[in-house]
Amino acid sequence: MANVLLGVTGSVAAIYTPELYRELRNAGHAVQLVATKSSLYFFDAAAIEATPVGSRNKEIVILDDDEWPNAHYQRGDPVLHIDLRRWADVLLIAPCDANTLAKLALGITDNCLTCVYRAWDATRPVILAPAMNTLMWEHPATARHLAQITADLRGSLRIAPPISKTLACDDIGVGAMAERPAILNVVAGLLQVK
């Protein structure tokens, strides 16, 4: 079983976050969740049933503000995105929206999740479950960004590919986040390899 850091970004598929969190816990993983500001439009962080993880007993859902807890940084204060990277065996970003995908590819670090990714130890796996409108998925930038991330992670990247269905916007096509069992299978498959 693993320490899974679940990154959640601003796709409609973030509505499934409470279920995905619970299913990862039920599979025996310790889970902490880093949510982007946009993702909070789609799920209620308070709806996550907090189960203590090690010494962290309240902040199961980490928001960008948690990176900046005090008026001023004092030497010795924790640097949250580094602590999270040290803790995590696996970084799972589900859903991974087009914006965050682009930021990962470019190395942009303007929130807690992208800081964790940029500070990631590439010997540990990263799983992305992209979720976006079909034309966003088919846009050349998407393939370009995935190719860049694949090269950067040198074999540590796994993709839970998006599926085809009627999307929230009523378009029909590929772009919906992979079903949760498929995402859980990718996590489980990585642990068998370990």
Ligand X SMILES: Cc1cc2nc3c(=O)[nH]c(=O)nc-3n(C[C@H](O)[C@H](O)[C@H](O)COP(=O)(O)O)c2cc1C
| Residues found near ligand X in the complex (CB under 6 A) | 9-12, 36, 38-39, 97-100, 131-132, 136
Q: Are 89 and 82 in contact (CB under 8 A)?
A: no
User: Which residue is closest to ligand X by CB?
Assistant: 10
In total, the chain counts a number of residues equal to 194
Judged by beta carbon, residue 93 or residue 153, the one nearer ligand X is 93
**Bridge partners of residue 172, in order along the sequence:** 166
* Shortest distance (Å) from residue 166 CB to ligand X: 13
Helices (H), 46-179: 80-87, 98-106, 112-118, 134-138, 140-153
* Shortest distance (Å) from residue 40 CB to ligand X: 9
Cα-flanking dihedrals φ and ψ of residue 76, to 5°? 100, -20
* Shortest distance (Å) from residue 150 CB to ligand X: 19
Judged by beta carbon, residue 102 or residue 157, the one nearer ligand X is 102
Active site residue 169: yes
Judged by beta carbon, residue 135 or residue 151, the one nearer ligand X is 135
Helix/strand/coil percent split, the chain, to 5: 45, 20, 35
Active site positions, annotated: 169
